[in-house]
Amino acid sequence: MDKNAGVNMKHLRRERRARGECSNCKNHSGKFYLCSSCRDKSRKRQIRFKKGIKKATRDPRRLDIWDLESGNNELMNALSNIGISFSAPDQLKLFANLMNRSSRTVQGWIFEGRVPQPSLWKQIEIVLNKPISVLFPQLRNQLSKENKVVN
């Protein structure tokens, strides 16, 4: 969204109001700023906000409890070998700072099966003293194909 989007929206609503249209949906006409259906929706949002009711439409991004069974065991073992506990947030932040990433990104590598960017592979190999194909089993096929192409 560009920086003038708010100004443009303001002008659009002003034009709709001058034509006697609803400023939100344009389809309904009336003498008020909003049509009756848009006004009802707005009131429902206000009531929900005042009562502190939230819609349960999305799963939370951050999990309180991680599933260790589905995690990357090789990476967990490598971290524990160098003295970093993956369950201690402060130690995980230390490793994340070494990689110039957020602790949330590192948690994604450990618990969600995500793979780091190729630009970080050498740095991870140096810090953890293990090849990247051992630390991230998802990369074994990709790295073996690249080696075959090079040879």
Report the pLDDT value the prediction gives residue 70, as an integer from 0 to 100: 66
- Same domain for 127 and 81? yes
Residues 77 and 46 placed together within one structural domain of the fold: no
Note whether 85 and 145 are same-domain residues: yes
Residue 3 corresponds to which amino acid?
K
Query: What is the mean pLDDT, run by run of 10 residues, along the chain of 151 residues?
Result: 63 79 72 76 72 56 56 86 82 89 88 87 92 86 63 52
Say how far apart CA 13 and CA 49 lie, in whole Å: 24
- The boundaries of the domain holding residue 142 are 73-150
Q: Note the pLDDT of residue 125.
A: 92
Q: What is the pTM of this model?
A: 0.52
pLDDT above 70 covers a percentage of the chain that reads 70
The first and second tokens of residue 1, run together, are: 């969204």
Residue 92: which CATH number? 1.10.260
Contact in structure between 92 and 83 (CB atoms under 8 Å)? no
Amino acid 50: pLDDT:
66
- What is the maximum span of the chain, computed from C-alpha positions, in angstroms? 75
Residues 77 and 37 in one domain: no
Q: What is the pLDDT of residue 151?
A: 52
Q: Are residues 44 and 79 in the same domain?
A: no
Question: Residue 71: what are its φ and ψ, rounded to 5°?
Answer: -80, 175
pLDDT at 11: 80
Coil, strand or helix: which one is 29? strand
Neighbouring C-beta atoms of residue 127, cutoff 10 Å: 16
Give me the pLDDT at residue 122, please.
92
The pLDDT of residue 86 is 72
SS3 110: helix
